[in-house]
Chains A and B, each alone.
Chain A
Amino acid sequence: MTRRLLLLACSLCLLAGMAQGVPCDRDGDDTLTAPELATAILDSLDARFMGGTVEAPSPVDLRDAAFIYEHWDGRTLTITDSSGRTTTLSRPLRRIALFNSDTLEMMRSLGLEPDRVVGVSKYVLEDPVFYPEYQGTANLGSTWAPDYEQAASIRPDAVFLYATLSESSCADIEKTLRSIDPGIRFFRFDSYRPATYAEEARTLGLLLGKEEEARRFLSFHRNVTGTVAGVVDAIPAEDRVSVYLESWHDYKSAGKGSGYDEKIELAGGRNIFGENPVEYPVVDPEAVISRNPDVIVKIVGAGELAFGGYGDDDRSSFETVCRTIGNRPVWDRITAVRDGRVHIIHSDVIGGPEYFIGTAYLAKWFYPDLFTDLDPRAVHQQYLEEFQHLDYDLDEHGTFVYPA
Chain B
Amino acid sequence: MLPKRAVLLCILVFVLAAPAAAGSIERIVTPSGNGLDITLTLTDIPVGGIVETLPDGCTWTEADHPENRTRVSGQQVAFAVIGEETIRYRVQGPPDVAEAFAGTWEDLLTGESGTVGAGEPRNPGPGAATAPGTPGFGCAAAIVALAAAYRWRCGR
Interface residue ranges, A against B (CB under 8 Å)? 34-35, 37-39, 41-42, 44-46, 49-52, 62-63, 65-67, 69-70, 108, 111-114, 128-130, 132-133, 209, 213, 310-313, 389-392, 397
Closest to B78 in A: A45
When chains A and B are docked, how far (Å) is the Cα of A130 from the Cα of B74?
54
Q: Can you list 30 A-B pairs, Cβ within 8 angstroms, ordered by A? A: A37-B47, A37-B82, A38-B68, A38-B82, A41-B108, A42-B71, A42-B78, A42-B80, A45-B50, A49-B76, A50-B71, A63-B108, A65-B108, A66-B47, A66-B48, A69-B47, A69-B82, A113-B17, A129-B5, A130-B12, A132-B12, A133-B17, A313-B8, A389-B15, A389-B18, A391-B11, A391-B12, A391-B16, A392-B11, A397-B11
When chains A and B are docked, how far (Å) is the Cα of A397 from the Cα of B7?
11
5 pairs of A and B residues whose beta carbons are closest in the complex: A66-B108, A41-B80, A38-B80, A111-B18, A45-B78
- Does residue B142 face the partner (Cβ distance < 8 Å to A)? no
When chains A and B are docked, how far (Å) is the Cα of A129 from the Cα of B11?
9
Complex interface: chain B residues within 8 A of A51 (CB): 73
Min distance, Cβ B34 to any Cβ of chain A, angstroms: 26
- Does residue B154 face the partner (Cβ distance < 8 Å to A)? no
Q: Which of A38, A67, A128 contacts B9 (CB 8 A)?
A: A128
Establish whether residues B109 and A46, one from each chain, have CB atoms under 8 Å apart when the complex forms: no
Tally of B interface residues using CB under 8 Å = 36
Complex interface: chain A residues within 8 A of B111 (CB): 63
When chains A and B are docked, how far (Å) is the Cα of A45 from the Cα of B72?
11
Complex interface: chain A residues within 8 A of B50 (CB): 45
Establish whether residues A46 and B78, one from each chain, have CB atoms under 8 Å apart when the complex forms: yes
- Does residue B150 face the partner (Cβ distance < 8 Å to A)? no
Interface residue ranges, B against A (CB under 8 Å)? 4-5, 8-9, 11-18, 20, 46-51, 66, 68-71, 73-74, 76, 78, 80-82, 104, 108-109, 111, 137
Tally of contacts, chain A with chain B, CB under 8 A: 111
Establish whether residues B9 and A129, one from each chain, have CB atoms under 8 Å apart when the complex forms: yes
Min distance, Cβ B83 to any Cβ of chain A, angstroms: 8
Establish whether residues B78 and A391, one from each chain, have CB atoms under 8 Å apart when the complex forms: no
Establish whether residues A49 and B104, one from each chain, have CB atoms under 8 Å apart when the complex forms: yes
When chains A and B are docked, how far (Å) is the Cα of A61 from the Cα of B49?
15
Closest to A393 in B: B11
Complex interface: chain A residues within 8 A of B51 (CB): 45, 49-50
When chains A and B are docked, how far (Å) is the Cα of A310 from the Cα of B5?
9
Min distance, Cβ A111 to any Cβ of chain B, angstroms: 4
Establish whether residues A311 and B8, one from each chain, have CB atoms under 8 Å apart when the complex forms: yes
When chains A and B are docked, how far (Å) is the Cα of A100 from the Cα of B73?
51
Complex interface: chain B residues within 8 A of A133 (CB): 15, 17
Complex interface: chain A residues within 8 A of B137 (CB): 49
Q: Which of B12, B18, B73 contacts A46 (CB 8 A)?
A: B73
When chains A and B are docked, how far (Å) is the Cα of A389 from the Cα of B20?
12
Establish whether residues A67 and B17, one from each chain, have CB atoms under 8 Å apart when the complex forms: no
When chains A and B are docked, how far (Å) is the Cα of A80 from the Cα of B101?
50
Min distance, Cβ A214 to any Cβ of chain B, angstroms: 13
Given contact pairs A35-B68, A70-B47, A313-B8, a sample of 18 additional A-B residue pairs in the complex whose CB atoms are under 8 Å apart: A41-B47, A41-B48, A42-B69, A42-B70, A42-B80, A45-B49, A45-B78, A49-B78, A66-B47, A69-B47, A128-B9, A129-B5, A129-B8, A132-B9, A311-B5, A389-B16, A391-B12, A391-B14
Min distance, Cβ A392 to any Cβ of chain B, angstroms: 6
Complex interface: chain A residues within 8 A of B73 (CB): 46, 50-52
Min distance, Cβ B124 to any Cβ of chain A, angstroms: 26
Complex interface: chain A residues within 8 A of B70 (CB): 42
Complex interface: chain B residues within 8 A of A41 (CB): 47-49, 69, 78, 80-82, 108
When chains A and B are docked, how far (Å) is the Cα of A44 from the Cα of B108?
11
Min distance, Cβ B43 to any Cβ of chain A, angstroms: 16
Complex interface: chain B residues within 8 A of A50 (CB): 51, 71, 73-74, 76, 78
Q: Which of B17, B104, B109 contacts A70 (CB 8 A)?
A: B109
With contacts A34-B82, A52-B73, A63-B111 known, is A70 near B9, CB below 8 A?
A: no
Closest to B73 in A: A50
When chains A and B are docked, how far (Å) is the Cα of A313 from the Cα of B6?
12
Establish whether residues A39 and B15, one from each chain, have CB atoms under 8 Å apart when the complex forms: no
Closest to B111 in A: A63
When chains A and B are docked, how far (Å) is the Cα of A108 from the Cα of B16?
11
Closest to B74 in A: A50
Closest to B13 in A: A132
Q: Which of A41, A63, A310 has the most CB of B within 10 A?
A: A41
Establish whether residues A67 and B109, one from each chain, have CB atoms under 8 Å apart when the complex forms: yes
When chains A and B are docked, how far (Å) is the Cα of A130 from the Cα of B18?
15
Min distance, Cβ A175 to any Cβ of chain B, angstroms: 34
Min distance, Cβ A24 to any Cβ of chain B, angstroms: 11
Complex interface: chain B residues within 8 A of A65 (CB): 108
